[in-house]
Homo-oligomer: A and B are copies of this chain.
Amino acid sequence: WFLCGCSGKHKGTRDYSPKQMAIRERVFTAIINCFKRHGAEVIDTPVFELKETLTGKYGEDSKLIYDLKDQGGELLSLRYDLTVPFARYLAMNKITNIKRYHIAKVYRRDNPAMTRGRYREFYQCDFDIAGQFDPMIPDAECLKIVHEILSDLQLGDFLIKVNDRRILDGMFAVCGVPDSKFRTICSSVDKLDKVPWEEVKNEMVGEKGLSPEAADRIGEYVQLHGGLDLIEQLLQDPKLSQNKLAKEGLGDMKLLFEYLTLFGITGKISFDLSLARGLDYYTGVIYEAVLLQQQNDHVEDPVSVGSVAGGGRYDGLVGMFDPKGRKVPCVGVSIGIERIFSILEQRVEASEEKIRTTETQVLVASAQKKLLEERLKLISELWDAGIKAEILYKKNPKLLNQLQYCEETGIPLVAIVGEQELKDGVVKLRDVATREEVNIRRENLIEEIRMRTSQL
């Protein structure tokens, strides 16, 4: 039996080649450095959770959860995000206070759109702060983190939209949406970044039974976006200012913007009443970062190419896993790096930049036949000294083939052993780029390689 060459992989997943992994490592390094700069610890959780752990956390998206087959024992599902496992972890271990990051794959039975960086298996990079703290300080730090990471990765211009579930709920209330319809109307609003208002309104009125007047009132609010000025304006809004939830949310939003001003990042932050986010568990501030245009686009107006980070406050989730319902307030952000990978991969392809996929410093080569034993002895010395070294796995490789291997893989140095060099107690060290060769005494070779490759 055998597989057809075209279908060895589940659609919507992908292997990472060495070249893709090299790009991926760059992105991970930038993100992890940022998380560590902000003092985060790191945790890890299993890839599957008990099925019941995931039930009722994701609203309409629950149908996208992958279940494991019942092979006896507990029913299991693959994790859908890293937030619910984090909340489960806090409750199980009675942790009331932690700042952690977690980078791992999550699973969604979605329709893959691989060209746009959407897969069924994909990485999330999450940073969360759990604990009872003074308002909006951790929330502001999460936004600072998004700002730092997106600046660091040089992905071009970006915008971080901010809103608050309490402002949304208050807005729904003053527009005349019945309490029971808050969630479903909220998920209609969530579509505004993809479809025009008219379509969203039709869904609200036609499918969800909202009155056209209520929908029109919502329509006016969700056009609004701005900064501190808009917050002040809405705090004076005759209807919204009468709603307790909206007032609380607007007060916190004002505080958030004051902190963001101290961080010097309000230039890329927009308070946007159309931002809703689909997940059920958010209770306060929510945010989403979008890239405004790609490097190689030549568009006049900056256009959003999609979300690359999102998050918010979820003060009720941990309590759902605690036998006594004890709450642990949390706020966090998730960096969606698949789209970032796609952009950087495209950029590398376009630039024809050559990416090294190994870190090898030196190839141990021979000039004549019958020197395998000498090559093995030398490379063993180099490995034991911590030098990154390779040989070709041939008894008698041609020197030309050995040099070509260095050109192809970017190895900067060749240590050549030959009959004469062995007699003289030296090794010929060749610089691949300049083709210069110089004899180095065997006892000085390690030092010389270290010196030459530390300059690179």
Could you tell me which A residues sit within 8 Å of B by CB distance? 1-5, 7-11, 13-18, 21, 24-25, 36-50, 52-53, 56, 66-71, 73-74, 76, 78, 88-89, 91-93, 98, 100, 105, 107, 109, 121, 129, 131, 133-134, 137-138, 140, 144, 148, 259, 262-264, 320-323, 325, 357-360, 372-373, 376-377, 380, 383-384, 386-391, 393-395
Contact B50 A10 (CB under 8 A): yes
Is A15 touching B36 in the complex (CB atoms < 8 A)? no
Determine how many copies of this chain the complex contains.
2
**Nearest Cβ distance between residue A252 and chain B, in whole angstroms?**
14
- Whether the pair A39, B69 counts as a contact (CB closer than 8 A) is no
Partner of A5, one of B49, B92, B140, B393: B92
Q: Per a CB cutoff under 8 Å, which of B38, B69, B121, B131 touches A70?
A: B69
Do A47 and B322 have beta carbons less than 8 Å apart? no
Q: When the two chains form their complex, are residues A15 and B109 in contact, meaning their CB atoms are under 8 A apart?
A: no
Does A46 lie within 8 Å of B14, measured CB to CB? yes
Interface pairs (23), CB distance under 8 Å: A5-B322, A8-B50, A8-B89, A9-B50, A10-B50, A10-B73, A13-B48, A17-B43, A18-B41, A21-B43, A47-B47, A48-B121, A69-B69, A69-B70, A134-B393, A137-B376, A137-B394, A137-B395, A138-B393, A144-B383, A148-B384, A259-B376, A264-B380
List residues of chain B with CB within 8 A of the CB of A16.
43-45
Of A69, A78, A88, A138, most buried by chain B (CB within 10 Å of CB) is A69
A92 CB contacts on chain B under 8 angstroms: 5, 8-9, 15
Kindly list 15 other residue pairs between chains A and B, CB separation below 8 angstroms, not including A37-B389, A66-B68: A2-B323, A10-B46, A15-B89, A15-B92, A16-B43, A21-B44, A24-B44, A38-B388, A39-B388, A40-B358, A41-B358, A47-B47, A66-B69, A137-B372, A263-B380
